[in-house]
Amino acid sequence: MRFCHLLQKRAEALLAAGSHVIILGDLNTAHRRIDHCNAVNLEYFEEDPGRKWMDGLLNNIGCPAGSHVGPFIDTYRYFQPQQEGAFTCWSVVSGARHHNYGSRLDYVLGDKTLVMDTLQASFLLPEVMGSDHCPVGAVLNVSSVPAKYCPPLCTLFFPEFAGTQLKILRFLVPLEHKPILDQSALQLSSQTLVQKRQNKFCVRLTRLQPSQASSRRGQKNMTSYFQPSSSHSQTSASKLPTLHLVETVMATKTPEEEAIAKVVEGEISASGAKEEKEVLVSFWKSVLRGPFSVPLCRGHREPCVMRTVKKAGPNLGRHFYMCARPQGPRSDPSTRCNFFQWSRPS
């Protein structure tokens, strides 16, 4: 609002100096209810600070005397005072442009004398894509007269628009050197250097001590770190007679018995591998459950789309599902329904 009031003061000052003024662009405010797609459901619509500011800025000729007597005229409403659905901005996320569910935020405003004497047409271009806004324009029957001098705020006086090559020195600012600070900084750097050398010497000493001790004891072999435990040696020793006994028994079997034993061993190994595979499959299924099934909206029985809460609060960052159709008037059944569902419980 500070910007809006400053803009108004600047425009009124130019009018007082005898100039004509045109204000055009995105004012980020839908002035009247006819300029907003959902004004019926908005409380205190006229109490919005931006709309009150535009009430004081604009002069609506069709309104009763004493109201809206500002110095400027909304050129589009000057020609189309009752045109509905004349919007210039739509939500890209909700796809509201498909059903023309938006607001008129872009204006071409002109001072009263200029509009009534020279204005021929004012138009919107909603068919021009490429942005969440569409272009707006006006046609004036005027002739261009060169000015004697440019206004002080003209971009001609900006260095980046001067049309000349800027030197690198313009981006470099010389620093003022203070001798006292330089001397203290030099002392500090010398102390830091001595400290680093002392620390490095201490590190070297600590690294040399273990190596010197190991040289006196001799280099250890890698196998010395892998000594078998006493229990392991006893167990392996106790198994030796059993293994020898099994080999002796197997050697005394007939060829038929050996064939049967091989078949039994093969079945046991196959069943064990199958059980192990089933265990692994069930484990990975419990860990990697895959994507959750997308719910269907109740209004159209169609797959929903996932969105993320971006508003600050306890639900910031949570995901939810909603109807995937473009946003539009509630009276139109082909537009988005009011389905809502959290993706996961909080």
Residue 26 annotated in ligand binding: yes
d(C-alpha 152, C-alpha 154), whole Å: 6
Q: Which of 122, 126, 151, 152 is nearest to 138 (CA)?
A: 122
Strand partners, 123: 137
d(C-alpha 73, C-alpha 118), whole Å: 13
Would you say 117 is a known binding-site residue?
no
As a whole number of angstroms, the distance between CA 73 and CA 113 comes to: 9
Q: Which of 127, 144, 133 is nearest to 91 (CA)?
A: 133
Distance separating alpha carbons of residues 35 and 28, to the nearest angstrom:
12
Q: Which residues of 39-68 are buried (b: 16+ CB within 10 A; e: fewer)?
A: eeeeeeeeeeeebebbbebbbbeeeeeeeb
Give the E-state strand segments of the chain in sequence order: 22-26, 72-74, 89-90, 102-103, 106-111, 119-124, 136-140, 305-308, 319-322, 340-342
Task: Flag whether 60 is marked binding.
Answer: no
Q: Is 28 annotated as a binding residue?
A: yes
| Nearest Cα residue to 76 out of 31, 40, 143, 28 | 31
Binding site, annotated residues: 26, 28, 132-133
Binding site, annotated residues for Mg(2+): 26, 28, 132-133
